[in-house]
Amino acid sequence: MKIVIPKIDVNKIASHSIKISEKTLAKSELANEFLLGIGNVVLFIQRIFTEMFSGRAEFKEFIYQCYQMGNKSLPLISVTGTIMGLVLTIQSRPVLAEFGAESLLPGMVAISLIREIGPVITGLICAGKIGSGIGAELGSMKVTEQIEAMEVSSTNPMKFLVVTRVLATTVMLPLLVLYADALGIIGSWIGANIKGDVTISLFFSQAFSQVGFNDFIPSVIKSFFFGAVIGIVGCYKGYNAGRGTESVGKAANSAVVIGSLLVLIVDVIAVQITDMLL
């Protein structure tokens, strides 16, 4: 079977922006660096895609990375998810009570968790936890010659380190988001029980009576992109770390900053698209 990658001439885009960057060299150092950066990122992403579909896959490493990522971020996401649901419930109850609409509470909380709060909070947490981890790990591997050692052991580090991590974040993020959603609703149930008395099954059935596939699907798709962005940024920063030890910290730091920013930007775009389609 041959997998056809859609024909976007990334090479052209990259070489174009590098060309523009060369022209502006004399004019502005900063703009130059920015354009060079874009060119390099585009080339990096293109390399990830070509490596992904060529040769033997590093399946074991991919599974190991998925396990690591899930394992490491689970506690943090559990706590945040529960607290988000709890707080959201406690905060919105008085307002709803004013209109006598308390029965809408579970549905409202579920919708806001699933559509927006779950994905974005999980995305930001993972940009911090997973993104910085990847940036620091690959950065220190770069600085201590471990990436070069892989290359001479006739292993393609782009495939072994980068492709596996990008795929792992892309697969794991949606799963973590769904998990955060579920815990958020449980947190909300706890919040509802502080001043009332609802069984968990009733609460869940009330919540899901308001939630449809229209709420789930866009949020899952969005989380895939969050995952891809976090993985790509972390890998790019780590893989291109400089030569000193201080560049490891820099790589981890900018992986978090740029990762979080891009998660929010992707979110805005995703919301716009969902709005247009539904």
Partner 1 sequence: MEKPELNNNQTDAIIEVKNLQIKFGKQEVLKDVTLNLYKGENLVVLGKSGSGKSVLIKCIVNLLTFKNGTIKVFGDDILLMNRNEISSMRKKIGFLFQSGALYDSMTVKENIEFPLRRIKSELNEKEIDEKVKEVLENVGLIDSINKMPSQLSGGMRKRISLARTIVIDPLIMLYDEPTTGLDPITANEISELIKNIQEKYNTASIIITHDIHCARTTADRLVMLREGEIYLEGNLKQFEESKDEMIMSFFK
> Residue from 121, 126, 137, 138 that binds partner 1 (CB under 8 A)?
137
Residue 114 has which token pair? 């699933």
The dihedral through the CA atoms of 135, 137, 140, 142 has a sign that is: negative
> Residue from 152, 268, 277, 278 that binds partner 1 (CB under 8 A)?
152
Q: Name, in order, each residue with C-beta under 8 angstroms of 188's C-beta and a sequence gap of 6 or more.
A: 85, 86, 88, 89, 105, 106, 109, 110, 113, 203, 207
Q: Does residue number 5 form part of the binding site for partner 1 (CB under 8 A)? A: no
Measured from the CB atom, is 154 or 201 closer to partner 1?
154
Measured from the CB atom, is 27 or 243 closer to partner 1?
243
Measured from the CB atom, is 147 or 185 closer to partner 1?
147
Q: Does residue number 245 form part of the binding site for partner 1 (CB under 8 A)? A: no
Give the nearest distance from C-beta 114 to partner 1 in angstroms.
35
Give the interface segment with partner 1, choosing from 104-112, 121-129, 140-148, 174-182 (CB under 8 A).
140-148
Measured from the CB atom, is 71 or 154 closer to partner 1?
154
Give the interface segment with partner 1, choosing from 80-88, 148-156, 200-208, 215-223 (CB under 8 A).
148-156
54: left (phi over 0), alpha (psi -120 to 50) or beta: beta
Q: Does residue number 145 form part of the binding site for partner 1 (CB under 8 A)? A: yes
Span 19-78, contacts to partner 1 by CB under 8 A? none
Can you tell me the distance from the alpha carbon of 216 to that of 111, in angstroms, rounded to the nearest whole number? 9
Q: Does residue number 121 form part of the binding site for partner 1 (CB under 8 A)? A: no
124: Cα within 13 Å, side-chain hemisphere? 11
Q: Among the residues of the chain, which ranges form H helices?
A: 10-24, 29-52, 59-98, 105-112, 118-126, 132-143, 146-152, 157, 164-195, 200-210, 213-239, 246-277
> Residue from 84, 141, 177, 251 that binds partner 1 (CB under 8 A)?
141
In the complex, the residues that contact partner 1 under the rule CB under 8 A are 137, 140-141, 144-146, 148-155
